[in-house]
Amino acid sequence: MLFVCHGYMVIMYDHTLQLNDAIKDTVYNWALVFIEWKCLKLFSVPMVYGVSAFCGIWMHFVREGSKMASWNSITLEITYQVVGWSAFLCWAICFYPQLILNYRRKSVVGLNFDFVVLNWTKQLAYLIYNVTLFFSPVVQRQYHEKYGYGTMIPVAANDVAFSLHSLLIMALVAFQILIYERGSQKVSKTCITITSIVWVVAVVCTIIAWPSNSWLWLISVFNIIQVSMTTIKYTPQAFMNYMRKSTEGFSIFFVLLDLLGGLTNLAQMLVESIDQGTFVNLYSDIGKTLLSSIVAFFGLLFIAQHYVLYPSMSVGKYSKAGAENTEPLMKPSSESGQNENV
């Protein structure tokens, strides 16, 4: 429903309304805000209502102020929107199986806490990058001065919506960790050290960028942070699965939807490249490109662990509620020196 209505509005915008560009943009975006709000309501994703509306309203000012390149093909533009919002839905929905699994088990045993902390850090850095490049005319001007005024801004409304939604969901997961059975699991010192270093670097870069107004460079730093955190955040969970010889407690539905989201996100960028006849967007927003690639890699790894290496049927010794599994998942440092991976 969302995709059909969105596509119809794109066509109406380009071919039906005989108004000047400013009025046409305004009418189009207000109508689009209403449609996306209604359709997202049907998908039961209330957390993104405000984000979707805000993105739609501001699109007029972004288009007028940033001199965005126009689409050459209506079909590809509709495809771009359909694929982009498909990626958003996959990545938005993929978090809910883990929330539901934790709720049903009343336990977070099997969910690596390092993954949660690193993912929250990643999502916050990605939100800063997406929101700034999507809404700031100053940063958009710097982007066009570097990559050319004929290039399109690589951040779409669905990217902004995804970042904010993910940040809120990870906050809910953190709350579950506080109230549910968690056995002997805890955030490792390694995770705390990495997270601290990341934000110290972010603060230092902000101080460096401030005097010269190097905002594009600064958000590029946050983009690098989110790519690094994406790589790092999956590693503790993969290693934990290996040590336990089990994936119980880690939702495979999250993995499948996360993988699908990564592939559709990459497909969205390729559609833009095909329409514009250039691959500038793939390297100008290298963070988004690498994000999709890393998600695909770890998605395939988790699928192999769940279905091939450690089938769930072979781990009956772990209770569904996780209450009985209170022993450390790894030996203490005095015995193995590997407690930082728990």
pLDDT digits (tens, 9 = 90+) for 35-51: 555 555 554 444 444 54
- pLDDT(234) > 70: yes
Which pLDDT belongs to residue 29? 53
- pLDDT(330) > 50: no
Contact 123, 291 (CB under 8 A): no
Q: How many CB atoms neighbour CB 146 within 10 A?
A: 11
Grade residue 269 by pLDDT with cuts at 50, 70 and 90. Answer: confident
Backbone region of residue 106 per phi and psi (left: phi > 0; alpha: psi in -120 to 50; beta: other values): left
Name which residue leads in pLDDT, 84 or 14: 84
- pLDDT(82) > 60: yes
Q: Which helix (H) or strand (E) holds 116?
A: helix 113-135
User: Rounded to 5 degrees, what angle do the CA atoms 157, 162, 163 make?
Assistant: 105
Beta bridge partners of 107: 181
Question: Mean pLDDT score of the chain, rounded to an integer?
Answer: 76
pTM of this prediction?
0.67
Grade residue 314 by pLDDT with cuts at 50, 70 and 90. Answer: very low
Contact 291, 265 (CB under 8 A): yes
Contact 164, 51 (CB under 8 A): yes
Which pLDDT belongs to residue 339? 45
pLDDT, mean of residues 137-164: 88
- pLDDT(169) > 60: yes
How far is CA 202 from its chain centroid?
A: 19
> For residue 205, which amino acid is it?
C
- pLDDT(318) > 70: no
Grade residue 219 by pLDDT with cuts at 50, 70 and 90. Answer: very high
